[in-house]
Chain A
Amino acid sequence: MIFPLTPTLLSSFSPLALSSSSLPMLKINNIEVIYSDVILVLRGISLSVEQGQVVSLLGANGAGKSTTLKAISGLLLREDGAVTRGNIEFDGQRLDRMAPEEVTRLGIVQVLEGRRLFQHLTTEENLLTGALIRSDRAGIKQSLEQVYEYFPALPALRNKTAGYLSGGEQQMVAIGRALMAKPRLMLLDEPSLGLAPLLVRDIFDIIHRINKESGVSIMVVEQNANVALRAADYAYVMENGRIVLDGTAAQLADNADIKEFYLGLTAVGERKSYRNVKHYKRRKRWLG
Chain B
Amino acid sequence: MNWQLLPQFAITGFLNGGPIALIALGIVLIFKSSEIFNFSQGQMLLIGTLSTWWFWAEEGLGLPLWAAIILGLTVSAILGLLIERLTLRPMTGQPLLSIILMTLALSQFLQGMAILTFGTTQRNFPAIFEVTSPYKISLPFFTYNNNPMMLILKQNLVWSFGVAMLCVILLWAFFQYTRTGLSMRATAEDHETAQSVGIRINHIFGISWALAGIIGTVGGILIATASGLDLSLPIVVLAAFPAVLLGGLESIPGAVIGSLLIGLTQGLVALPNNDFILGAEAAQVIRSSSEIIPYIILLIVLVIRPDGLFGQKRIERI
Contact = CB atoms under 8 A, between A and B. Distances in A.
A73 interface: yes
Given A120-B315, A132-B179, A161-B315, A101 B186 contact: no
B189 interface: yes
Interface in B155-187: 179, 182-183, 185-186
B284 to A, nearest CB: 47
A112 B196 CA distance: 8
Interface in A83-136: 99-101, 104-105, 109-110, 112, 116-121, 125, 128-130, 132-133
A58 B193 CA distance: 24
Nearest to B312: A120
Given A75-B192, A164-B317, A133 B198 contact: yes
A279 interface: no
B190 interface: yes
A119 B196 contact: no
Contacts of A130: 197
Contacts of B201: 101
Contact of B195 (A100, A120, A121, A161): A100
A129 B199 CA distance: 9
Contacts of A109: 196-198
A199 to B, nearest CB: 16
A73 B318 CA distance: 26
Interface size class of B (residues with CB under 8 A): 20 to 34
Interface string A47-62: 0000000000000000
B203 to A, nearest CB: 9
A119 to B, nearest CB: 5
A275 interface: no
Contact of A129 (B183, B200, B312, B314): B183
Contact of A164 (B192, B193, B315): B315
Contacts of B185: 118, 120-121, 125
A178 B200 CA distance: 17
Contacts of A78: 191-192, 195
A177 interface: yes
Given A75-B192, A101-B196, A119-B189, 12 more contacts: A101-B200, A104-B195, A104-B197, A104-B198, A118-B186, A118-B189, A120-B185, A121-B182, A121-B186, A128-B182, A161-B315, A177-B197
Interface of B: 179, 182-183, 185-186, 189-201, 312, 314-315, 317-318
